[in-house]
């Protein structure tokens, strides 16, 4: 079983739609959680951190459920520019903050 699992998609949605991505992680020692965005053939870029209380950044909302070991990302009012792959990332506690990446969920927003 992969340490971080995501639905690979693709999610094809029209502009203005609301779309949600889910991610599950298996290591209970996971301490920090992030969503990264990766455009085709480019480097991953930090989209937002994920906190237990849930957090919002404009059209993006992230939630964490530690009991179920589940992370989500909600995108409201999708834009064409949101088309990308979204990576769920977990840091395992220990001496080094090792990032474990999910394989990513691809989003395609169409006019």
Q: Segment near another protein (CB under 8 A), from 10-18, 19-27, 44-52, 67-75?
A: 44-52
Token pair for 13 = 């949605």
Report whether the peptide linkage leading into residue 97 is cis, meaning its omega lies within 30 degrees of zero.
no
- Give the burial string for 61-78 (b: 16+ CB within 10 Å, else e): bbbbeeeebebbbebeeb
Distance CA 73, CA 60 (A): 7
Could you say whether residue 32 binds another protein (CB under 8 A)?
Answer: yes
Measured from the CB atom, is 18 or 97 closer to another protein? 97
Measured from the CB of residue 46, what is the shortest distance to another protein in angstroms? Answer: 5
Measured from the CB of residue 18, what is the shortest distance to another protein in angstroms? Answer: 26
CA R_g for the chain: 14
Could you say whether residue 30 binds another protein (CB under 8 A)?
Answer: no
Total of chain residues touching another protein, rule CB under 8 A: 20
Measured from the CB of residue 99, what is the shortest distance to another protein in angstroms? Answer: 6
Cβ count within 10 A of residue 45: 11
Q: Which residues bind another protein (CB under 8 A)?
A: 8, 32, 34, 41-46, 49, 87, 95-99, 101-104
């Amino acid at each position: 079983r992969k340490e971080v699992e995501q639905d690979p998609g693709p999610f094809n949605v029209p502009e203005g739609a609301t779309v949600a991505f889910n991610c599950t992680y298996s290591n209970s020692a996971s301490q920090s959680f992030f969503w990264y965005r990766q455009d085709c053939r480019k480097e991953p870029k930090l989209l937002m951190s994920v906190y237990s209380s849930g957090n919002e950044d404009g059209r993006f909302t992230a939630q964490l459920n530690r009991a179920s070991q589940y992370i989500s990302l909600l995108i409201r009012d999708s834009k064409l520019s949101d088309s990308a792959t979204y990576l769920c990332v977990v840091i395992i506690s220990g001496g080094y903050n090792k990032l474990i990446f999910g394989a990513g969920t691809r989003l395609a927003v169409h006019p």
